[in-house]
Amino acid sequence: MAANTSRRLALLAFFVVTTFVAPSSLAQQAGDTAAKAKALDQQIIAESKKDSSLIPNLTYLSDIIGPRLTGSAALRRANDWTADKLKSYGLTNVHLESWLMPEGWERGTATGRILEPDNGRKLSIAALGWTPGTKGKVEGEVIIVNAATLAELDAYRGKLKGKIILSGPPTELVPIADIEKPGGSATTPKTKKDKGPANFEEAMALRKQQDVIYQQEGVLAVLQDAGKHLGLLYTGGGWTGNDRPSAVKKLPALSVAHEHYALLYRLASRPEPAKTRIELEVNTKYIPGPIKVFNTVGEIKGTEKPDEFVVVGAHLDSWDLGQGTLDNGCGTCVVLEAARILAKLPPPKRTIRFVLFTGEEQGLHGSRHYVDQHKDELDKMSAALVHDTGTGKVLGLGWMSNRDALAPILETELACLKDLGVKELCGKGFGGSDHVSFDRGGVAGCAFNQEIAGYRFGHHSQADTLEMAREEDLRQGAQVMATAALRIANMEKLLPRSAGKTK
């Protein structure tokens, strides 16, 4: 009887301890975890203010290496330099991962002048990427093609031989006083509204047929409005899949300074018999492929779950009219700085993998290849965080999909980012950067939403230079990136999968 009583008393004591002591112990553990996370946040801030490499790195990348067109020798130098930087910061598994592009391209000279009326005007022009030159000087009449449907386009057959095409009316620019305001597009100003194709499929069909007709008819060149203030030019272009651009792009395509494009449009709009003739000489060069290109990769290995990852990235390639500082030297150097900072802290539970992608400007090629090459480990990637809109302060985290599932987690786990000025932790994402490739593969993809900070002026133009950089805003970006990456790497679970599907 006494033994039974002792056993009952022991059981009662066990239940008392587990009922009243265990919750207290769990609360203590939670408090300790939160305190450790906060201490790491503070370390990140302190390290970012000490021995910062941001501006020295950005200066070297902009001034010494310069613009980094995909497939160029400058981009390869940038690969090697960023790999050396990651190694010097103490990262492990630093290496270059290759992918193949079908063909390279080099920009040469581009000149133009108005012949008729003979007003002596020289034209400010630049070839669009991966388009051919004119094979010497060519002269032709400038005409306007207004075709919103295939039927309207067919009406131009027999009228285009030897002509130089203006592709629509001039762009209606956002006023300079409004260009830094939030909202609208970061890359494309408002345009005059004309009736056009009803949907994307119709638009693509129209464009494809347009290229066919222009080539069949013997068009000399196609001109488009650069759509920027102050005489700045714009460049862009690329390829689809493994197609060789030289096999499908047969006509010179040129960006024309807005003011000059508007002049040509006015001249070409005059009634008959007035004519507008111009002379063009554009030199570009295709580099035979395939060409091996590289993404730069380095890691801070996780301690508890080293085979699970958080990807932190930016694109290393740039266009070549400026220095590639805003787009995307700034993002590249923010990633390098986040790596430098985090390498000085205790290692995370999961691996943080830093990737500098290439071929982004021509169609997200480097990140798409990366996702395909790593498809077997996508289920172990928690998130991909990307910095790609210049020097502006980070105002929000923009996620591509599954925001309803992410919101309650991020509002709890990343609340500390609000102290750094991040107003929205689960905001709407934008397309057009490397996080999209991960999102399509099922990984939660995020690109930072940033202040405009001159991005609309400099984007893809001659104004994309080191002078546009803002050190304090870049420092904040590195703080946000390092803090978010570490917090996500230390979460109990991986973030929910996105709506994308693995290839």
Q: What tens digit of pLDDT does each residue of 434-470 get?
A: 999 999 999 999 999 999 999 999 999 999 999 999 9
Q: Does 34 fall in a domain?
A: no
Please tell me which residue, 490 or 30, carries the higher pLDDT value. 490
Domain that holds residue 181: 105-284
pTM for this model (two decimals): 0.90
Which range (23-27, 92-96, 229-233) has the least confidence? 23-27
pLDDT of residue 501: 52
Distance CA 303, CA 209 (A): 56
Task: Count the neighbouring beta carbons within 10 Å of the beta carbon of residue 162.
Answer: 12
pLDDT of residue 424: 97
43: left (phi over 0), alpha (psi -120 to 50) or beta: alpha
Distant-in-sequence, close-in-space partners of 371: CB < 8 Å, separation ≥ 6: 378, 437, 438, 440, 441, 443, 503
Kindly state whether residues 464 and 333 are assigned to the same domain: yes
Residues 132-136: what's their mean pLDDT? Answer: 96
Give the pLDDT confidence of 49-89 residue by residue, as tens digits: 999 999 999 999 999 999 999 999 999 999 999 999 999 99
CATH of the domain at 215: 3.50.30.30
pLDDT of residue 33: 79
Kindly state whether residues 420 and 368 are assigned to the same domain: yes
How many domains does one find in the chain? 2
Give the pLDDT confidence of 236-287 residue by residue, as tens digits: 999 988 889 999 889 999 999 999 999 999 999 999 999 999 999 999 999 9
Domain boundary among the residues 249, 284, 319 is at 284
CA separation, residue 395 to residues 419, 422, 476, 482 (Å): 11, 5, 10, 15
pLDDT band at 29 (very low <50, low <70, confident <90, very high): low
CATH of the domain at 369: 3.40.630.10
The amino acid that residue 497 corresponds to is R
Phi/psi of residue 218, nearest 5 degrees = 90, 35
Burial of residue 4 (CB within 10 Å: 0-12, 13-18, 19+) is exposed
Give the pLDDT confidence of 303-333 residue by residue, as tens digits: 999 999 999 999 999 999 999 999 999 999 9
The answer to whether residue 18 scores a pLDDT higher than 50 is: no
Kindly state whether residues 168 and 89 are assigned to the same domain: no
Q: Does 175 fall in a domain?
A: yes
